[in-house]
Amino acid sequence: MAFPHLIASSARGAAGQVSPGNRITVGLIGAGPQGVSDMKGFLADPAARVVAVCDVKDDRLALAQNAVNEHYQNQDCAKYHDFRELIARKDIDAVIIATPDHWHVVAALAAVRTGKDVYVEKPLGLSIAETQALRAELRKRQRVFQFGTQQRSSANFRRACELVRNGRIGRLKHINVWCIGSVPGGSTAPAPVPPGLDYDFWLGPAPAKPYRERLCDAAGDRKTWWFNSDYALGFIAGWGVHPIDIAYWGCPELMAGPLEVQGTGTIPTEGACDTATEWDINFKSSAGVTLNFRGLPIANNNNAAIGQHHPRQDKYGRTRDHGTVFEGTDGWVLVDRSHIAAHPESLLKENPDDYRVKLPRSAYHAQNFLESIRSRKAAIANIDEAFQSDALCHLSHLALKTGRKLTWDPRAERFVRDPAADRLLACRAMRKPWTL
């Protein structure tokens, strides 16, 4: 087992530089736009050294390798087609996993079993059982995990959650969460596999089906795998996990006892995209807090044109295509990626250093992961936190799938007296030779 390098203060030079032999070595698995974006955070940190990249697309692989070599001004970055070759390297301490969703847990398990710490993009598994398997392996092997819910490394999101957890808006009553829904449509007609793509390896554990146009394009919502249930749950988890994670961070009591969930939504019946394009999910916790999770339909496949009128615009004065609002007996606080607002406004003038409950501070998600590798302490988006946020997305998905009210027992991690719903928690069948 390859253990990460622990960096003592004596290993740093006068200017705070980390000596080359004490850097944490990092590999990237999945060199699409999100993976390369994540990787740049590690390239910018002198405590890390990116030494290898992996992808099943030749063009994306070359771009990632060139980015690393240009940054370090050498030709040392290795490239791999098969991620198993990358994780077999004993000199690699940690890996970034930014593959398509259906690969997240399979690749992460393989990496953890070779002694690697893992930074895994969201969402986690395609089933709750997959995520449970990853959590068990991380605990068994005592590996560090960071979830790609980078909003936890933003001061505004932390501030909003600290206001709630310190009772500054009074007793919390309700949480509103929203994001954009999945894109509908997409061709179902077989199409030639693009040059330079190993499509069979890209499919991996997913069902064997012919390639379809734009299935795995790199450009934004042009790709259809994001919204196809063979590879993902759609934006109910892929986007929704971000504002849902903030709801849980501000109110962990959501998962302290039995949680009721029910809702409605629209799931396309035509086209390659078959995940919910809009939804309205309601949770009721045993603590008395309610949560509404909305998926807003995309107008004309344009993320900037969300519906005709945001349903919460009038109440909060400002909304975007995503956000989390906590409502209490004495006020409310809204937060998204570019804004925080509160009522009364004086709440935002308070000094968080005076609060009794202080959440972990992180200035940058990659840096927090690297610091956790050195200290062997839990990262800000560790597996136990990630499991609960991911589970809330799965529960939303299953409420739509079953079309009825479900009651989740977070301690037993199964539904209350509902064997039919429990069966939906199981791992999906995987194409050979892939397995958990």
Report whether pLDDT(142) > 80: yes
- 217 pLDDT band (50/70/90 cuts)? confident
**Looking at residue 21, what is its pLDDT?**
66
Residues 328 and 336: their CA atoms lie apart, in Å, by 18
Class of domain 9-151: alpha beta
3-state secondary structure (DSSP) of residue 73? coil
Question: Does the structure show a pLDDT above 60 at 7?
Answer: no
pTM: 0.93
How far apart CA 210 and CA 183 sit, in angstroms, is 21
> Band of the pLDDT at 240, cuts 50, 70, 90?
very high
The confidence score (pLDDT) of residue 320 equals: 76
Note the maximum CA span of the chain. Answer: 62
Q: Which of the four pLDDT bands, split at 50, 70 and 90, describes residue 22?
A: confident
Would you tell me which CATH number, out of the four given (2.60.40.10, 3.40.50.1820, 3.90.180.10, 3.30.360.10), belongs to the domain 155-186+212-360+383-423?
Answer: 3.30.360.10
Q: For 377-427, how does the pLDDT look when each residue is reduced to its tens digit (9 = 90+)? A: 999 999 999 999 999 999 999 999 999 999 999 999 999 999 999 999 999
Mean pLDDT (the chain, rounded)? 92
Q: How confident is the model at residue 251 (pLDDT cuts 50, 70, 90)?
A: very high
- pLDDT higher than 80, residue 222: no
- Which tens digits make up the pLDDT trace of 81-105? 999 999 999 999 999 999 999 999 9
- pLDDT for res 223: 87
Q: Domain residue spans in the chain?
A: 9-151, 155-186+212-360+383-423
Q: What is the mean pLDDT of residues 251-256?
A: 97
Mean pLDDT lowest among 3-12, 160-169, 363-372: 3-12
